[in-house]
Structure 1
């Protein structure tokens, strides 16, 4: 004997349909909240990234702290011995920072610095063995000055980048009389060399 299940009543059909629609609405609201949360997170992250990438600049004038550092070429450089030439110090993260070394490589390609009589001194908190492979990779020929952190601290450039206790991506301009005329820190890890040249030559006028 075959048993036939009774057809659902109209009331049961409506109830089942309402329950199905409720489940769909709940699912849509859940996904909407998830998507909204993700979008909000993206906006916050992008906004924070843009905010932290804003350059920090200043033109407070002071007598630039003197220093003597060994270079990757084995020589020593004393800041005060370079007078009356203006000096642009480039503090950066050094070894492992491709954008930092690329920045120096592009600065070297711009003849305007030499034409303006500006000596560019890249300073890193590395040993020669650590930074030389990066220099060779990008074709940088300017000797790097090797700092144990003393000079970076004197110029207040530590903790300006992504790594605690390290310099970020900053420049300090010193005129021919040994006076600091300008500084700029660039969290974006890049500054067009021509823009940099225009900035420093304007400050030296």
Structure 2
């Protein structure tokens, strides 16, 4: 049985996950706000560090425009805390060790890695509007340049 992946116009699957400090964070906490929800494979890897640092660098502009940034990976909260500290990150990172939220958004599954088919996190980003519906979706993206593309497509960059 194939589950339909959430797409533009669909209600974003709700979730509650732990942040780097172990506090519970729910998508519902941000009802009425724009949320950029991005999924990445692993903290402290080169591509994931690039993406997280790019989102952190864009945070002042995103804050001004009313966007909240949430990053999700299978990493434990303690690893997220170390990643945040080591890389000077300024975005909320959430832990999904059971991969339930990753799976609900189609960000976990079969992917190609160096020519082999493996199960893993598929780097993906979603913009969720104030009404809880997905307004933009990017799947299977490359880390480098992705944040610039997101900013451009939501009207925050030239």
Report the TM-score, using the length of structure 1 for normalisation: 0.63
Q: Is 1:61 the counterpart of 2:2 in the alignment?
A: no
What RMSD over aligned residues (CA atoms) do the two structures have, in Å?
A: 2.3
Greater relative contact order (Cα < 8 A, sep 6+): 2
Report the TM-score, using the length of structure 2 for normalisation: 0.80
Match of 1:121 among 70, 74, 90: 70
Alpha-carbon contact 1:87-1:119 (below 8 Å) kept: yes
What's the counterpart of residue 107 of structure 2? 157
Alpha-carbon contact 1:85-1:119 (below 8 Å) kept: yes
Q: CA deviation at 1:107?
A: 1.4
**If each structure's helix is expressed as a fraction of its own residues, which one has the higher value?**
1
Q: CA deviation at 1:75?
A: 1.4
Q: CA deviation at 1:161?
A: 6.4
What's the counterpart of residue 47 of structure 1? none
What's the counterpart of residue 98 of structure 1? 46
What's the counterpart of residue 89 of structure 2? 140
Query: After the TM superposition, which segments of 4 or more aligned residues of structure 1 sit over 4 Å from their partners?
Result: none
- Contiguous gaps of at least 5 residues in structure 1: 1-57
Distance 2:112 2:90 in 1: 25
Alpha-carbon contact 1:161-1:168 (below 8 Å) kept: no
What's the counterpart of residue 145 of structure 2? 191
- Contiguous gaps of at least 5 residues in structure 2: 1-5
Distance 1:80 1:161 in 2: 33
**Deviation readout 1:75-113 (Å, 9 max, x if unpaired):** 111112211001110100123422212211121112221
Alpha-carbon contact 2:18-2:25 (below 8 Å) kept: yes
Distance 2:54 2:47 in 1: 10
Alpha-carbon contact 2:21-2:81 (below 8 Å) kept: no
**If each structure's strand is expressed as a fraction of its own residues, which one has the higher value?**
2
Distance 1:152 1:161 in 2: 17
Alpha-carbon contact 1:161-1:169 (below 8 Å) kept: no
Distance 1:197 1:79 in 2: 21
Aligned residues: 145
Distance 1:184 1:158 in 2: 14
What's the counterpart of residue 86 of structure 1? 34
Distance 2:129 2:35 in 1: 6
